[in-house]
Structure 1
Amino acid sequence: MKLSRRETLFALAGLGLAGKAQPGFAAPASLGAIAAEQGLLFGTSIASDTLADPAQAALYRREARIFTVDYAMKFGFLRPTADSFQPGEADAILAFARASAIPVRGHTLAWNESRPDWLMALSTAEMRAALDRHIDETVGYFAGQLHSWDVVNEPFWPGHRLPGHFRDGPWLDAFGEDYVTRAFKRTAAADPAARLVLNEAMTEAWTEDGALIRKSLLGLVDRLQHDGARLDAVGLQGHLLPQKPHDDAAFADFVAELATRKIDIYITELDVDDTVFPDDIGARDAAVAEHYRQFLTAVLAVPAVKMVITWQLADSASWYDHAAREADPDATRLPRPLPFDAHFAPKPAHGAMSAAFTARRPA
């Protein structure tokens, strides 16, 4: 049987034969291994194009102990039309992870920003049916294959100026605030084994919007538990923005308060926006690394934090890099927000993360 190019790349990456290090280069201990020594699960988001580059696939396989599917399980990607369901890219990621014995997180079932045009043209009753069908079919299709689901993503956005600071969108329109509880209960029924996660952004920003989101998130967790919905963990994304006010110690206090609800805490989308740091790469990388060190040192002092996931591992795969190239294809100052550079070499951020993991005491 002749393998396709993609299948060959998956096989090479799975066997660890792809992306050999250059002569004389000694790879540091993996972030996944260092975190595991302290009882933490470290991982990264991953997209199907990662698997097409053997060196990148090998890096992700070596460093991560868990993957989050980047975009291939989002509503609009799985269902670009009303009568379609396209899980092929997600299936490819799951096959790669399975060959490497790495668990996978599903991302995400109900997110009001994933709203294809066909969905927005539906009536309220049709929207309700669309969400129920999506959860039942999607969770059922992947049942038994996933560590966890981000069931609801980013439920709050104060900028939409709605009651309760909820994010506007089709699911809020269709069900009101009850869409959150409904999504959790249907997901639990479709796959009782998967851990169920509520994932939110901007909680680490010490701004007016950040304060409103933190307060609203605590209230939503209380409501889910009161309504009898199973909630195993809360994901706090951690897209760190040094240009905005932040207080790592105070954020850790918020994480500790959240943990009193007897749930685990995951840091789910960690990276550092380096926009305000110097152009000089050495100085910029040092500033990014220090931001990682301070944030993780504070957050990992909370025993309920069980997982840290970066949003991709290498700078060239970052959403910041993609946005910069889209804005200016000739850009020379490209973002460097992650622990590995575009050539998959470790940066100072890798050392800072390793140090923060090592300083954490196992629970």
Structure 2
Amino acid sequence: MTFLSRRETLFGAAGGLAALASPAFAATANSGPTLASIAKSRELLFGASIADDIFRDDAYRALYVKETSIVTTDYALKFSAVRARPAIADYSGGDALVDFARANGLQVRGHTLIWNDDMPAWVKGLSRREVEALFDKHIDETVSRYAGRLHSWDVVNEPFWPDHRAPRNYRRGPWYDALGPSYVPQALRRARRLDPAAKITLNEAFCERNDAFGKTVRGSFIALIDELRDQDAPLDAVGFQGHLKPQYDYSDEAFAEFLHRVAQRKLDIYITELDVDDSSFANDPATRDRQVAERYASFLRHVLAVPEVKIVITWQLADKFSGMRDPALPNRGRPARPLPFDDDLARKPAWRAIADAFAARAI
């Protein structure tokens, strides 16, 4: 096992962010240890979500091979992508990404099998019995297709949405409306039978928030884990997304305490969709990059103190491919800069902040 020297480990704490912004950095911007290699030295996996952008940009594709060891299918395996039309299942996007990853020695996380949001309109016209049959069919066909090829599946995504006012704060949608809360253990059991090798995962948003909404979801999530344990439903890991948005209240300390509570349930923990919304940060790009890096540093310092955290995934790898570049989002008229690599695929201060957080993790 390779470890960074003390000098390398302390580089960020002693001015690494400033050095990263210096003119001299450009010449060696992407040389030396990678996020994947530094993470591996601390018994972590680092990766990013991946989409068909990689097939249109050779340099971006190469960056994944260099900097990551695990990737998450971004939208290619969501129900709405696979089954945009009734009676037709299109797995071509997922096939291409899984084939690319495996050909390049990258592990793959399947995302997401069952989610009550982002459903095609045609599903709304189905009867309850038809939805139940579709539930089974989609899990059977999708999990069987990739059985033995995935590290893990986000079997159920975002089960909670308190604003829907459903019992126990569940998110309403076709699966919940047809099956009730039992859709969660049913999906977990069905996925396990079809692919015993993949780690069965629940993935949730909002838990990193320390406002009333986030605290409500945390409580509901812990209760669900305990209920699944009582029902002997399979569950290997839980994922927490980590979209860090400035309009919400946060306490990295409180989130870490919550992660310790989850870890007591004997589950691995993944950070699955990490990025930093910079919409309220400074206009000056260098200052904004430093603020983004500081946010990564604080969050990861607390999260990585929890030994059960095994994976950190950013949502995409470079700024120009981030969903935060959607023009419909509030960006104050400037391109968002939420990720560790910039538009030219060069390392940013966020890269150094992530690297330093990995290197400082005790094992």
Q: Are 2:66 and 1:62 equivalent residues in the alignment?
A: yes
- AA paired with 1:337? P
2:137 to 129, 133, 139: 133
- Report what 2:89 is aligned to: 85
Q: Give the C-alpha shift of residue 23 in structure 1.
A: 6.9
Q: Structure 2 matches for 1:189-268, cutoff 5 A?
A: 189-268=193-272
Could you say what secondary structure the match of 2:272 adopts?
strand
Could you say what secondary structure the match of 1:108 adopts?
coil
- Report what 2:349 is aligned to: 348
- After superposition, what is the alpha-carbon deviation per residue over 1:47-93, rounded to whole angstroms, capped at 9, x for unaligned? 01222200000111111010000000001110111211101111111
Output the CA distance in 2 between the equivalents of 1:209 and 1:194.
31
Q: Are 2:56 and 1:52 equivalent residues in the alignment?
A: yes
Output the CA distance in 1 between the equivalents of 2:124 and 2:31.
49
1:315 to 301, 316, 319: 319
- After superposition, what is the alpha-carbon deviation per residue over 1:170-200, rounded to whole angstroms, capped at 9, x for unaligned? 0000100110010000000111111100000
- After superposition, what is the alpha-carbon deviation per residue over 1:304-348, rounded to whole angstroms, capped at 9, x for unaligned? 000000000100111101x12x569x9850100000011101100
- Report what 1:357 is aligned to: 358
- Report what 1:6 is aligned to: none
Q: Are 2:334 and 1:333 equivalent residues in the alignment?
A: yes
Output the CA distance in 2 between the equivalents of 1:28 and 1:317.
24
Q: Is the 8 A contact 2:45 2:310 kept in 1?
A: yes
Q: Give the C-alpha shift of residue 24 in structure 1.
A: 6.2
Q: Is the 8 A contact 1:233 1:266 kept in 2?
A: yes
- Report what 2:276 is aligned to: 272
- AA paired with 1:227? Q
TM-score by length of 2: 0.91
Q: Hey, which bits of structure 1, 4+ residues long, moved more than 4 A?
A: 22-26
Output the CA distance in 2 between the equivalents of 1:80 and 1:95.
22
Output the CA distance in 2 between the equivalents of 1:242 and 1:266.
22
Change (3 A) 1:125 1:64: same
Alignment RMSD, CA only?
Answer: 1.5
Q: Is the 8 A contact 1:48 1:90 kept in 2?
A: no
Output the CA distance in 1 between the equivalents of 2:307 and 2:332.
42
- After superposition, what is the alpha-carbon deviation per residue over 1:132-165, rounded to whole angstroms, capped at 9, x for unaligned? 1100111011111111100000000111111111
Residues 89-98 or 263-272, more deviating: 89-98
Q: Is the 8 A contact 1:69 1:93 kept in 2?
A: yes
Change (3 A) 1:267 1:70: same
Could you say what secondary structure the match of 1:82 adopts?
coil
1:285 to 277, 286, 289: 289
- AA paired with 1:201? A
Q: Give the C-alpha shift of residue 168 in structure 1.
A: 0.9
How many correspondences in the alignment?
A: 338
Q: Are 2:182 and 1:161 equivalent residues in the alignment?
A: no
Output the CA distance in 2 between the equivalents of 1:24 and 1:265.
34
- Report what 1:95 is aligned to: 99
Could you say what secondary structure the match of 2:63 adopts?
helix
Could you say what secondary structure the match of 1:209 adopts?
helix
Change (3 A) 1:259 1:26: closer
Output the CA distance in 2 between the equivalents of 1:195 and 1:116.
27
- Report what 2:5 is aligned to: none
Output the CA distance in 1 between the equivalents of 2:329 and 2:291.
24
Residues 63-72 or 26-35, more deviating: 26-35
Output the CA distance in 2 between the equivalents of 1:26 and 1:318.
20
Output the CA distance in 1 between the equivalents of 2:297 and 2:53.
29
- Report what 1:42 is aligned to: 46
TM-score by length of 1: 0.91
- Report what 2:9 is aligned to: none
Q: Is the 8 A contact 2:242 2:273 kept in 1?
A: yes
Ranked by relative contact order (alpha carbons within 8 Å, sequence separation 6 or more), the top structure is: 2
